[in-house]
Amino acid sequence: MNKTLLVIIFSFLLTACANRSGFSIPEVMEPSPQVNFKNLYLRGVFNWWESSPAYRFTKDTDGWFVDVELIADGQPYDFRLSDENWTPSQSCGGKYKGQPVMVESVVYLVCQQNSENLQFTPSTTGIYRFVVSPAGTGEVSLVIRRRGN
């Protein structure tokens, strides 16, 4: 009789452990670090991916911006945003490789290690303003605007 009781108790415990409707420990998500815009640079093929002062974002009423002169030769410019050290939580890019960005269209960037390069192909040679602002946890909105004529 003792063996039968032990088998029943053991079976009950195994069933309770396998049952998903029982007690479970909730998964705790780590909060995403805030993007520090004052330390971000526009980095791409147009500046050899460097964090040079001319490509550091500056704050204005619309957000943070950088003006860049680009040549319209039909080839896309690969780029992304990052701090000086390519810190994963401070490196913002596309959700997939080669994600296109169009003038005056809002694109949402992810700021994490596996973000990808974005691509912009200017239709005319000139100065373009890259404007970024916070868009949510771990995301940044980007708009490119043509400056002047």
Give the contacts of 40 (CB within 8 A, at least 6 positions apart): 56, 57, 64, 81, 82, 83, 90, 92, 132
In a domain, 5, yes or no: no
- List pLDDT tens digits, range 34-50: 899 999 999 999 999 99
CATH number at residue 61: 2.60.40.3620
Neighbours of 25 (CB within 10 A): 5
Residue 104 lies in a domain: yes
Rounded to two decimals, the pTM is 0.77
Range of the domain at 92: 37-147
Contact 90, 111 (CB under 8 A): yes
49-104 pLDDT tens trace: 999 999 999 999 878 999 999 999 999 999 999 999 999 999 999 999 999 999 99
Q: Residue 138: how many CB atoms within 10 A of its CB?
A: 18
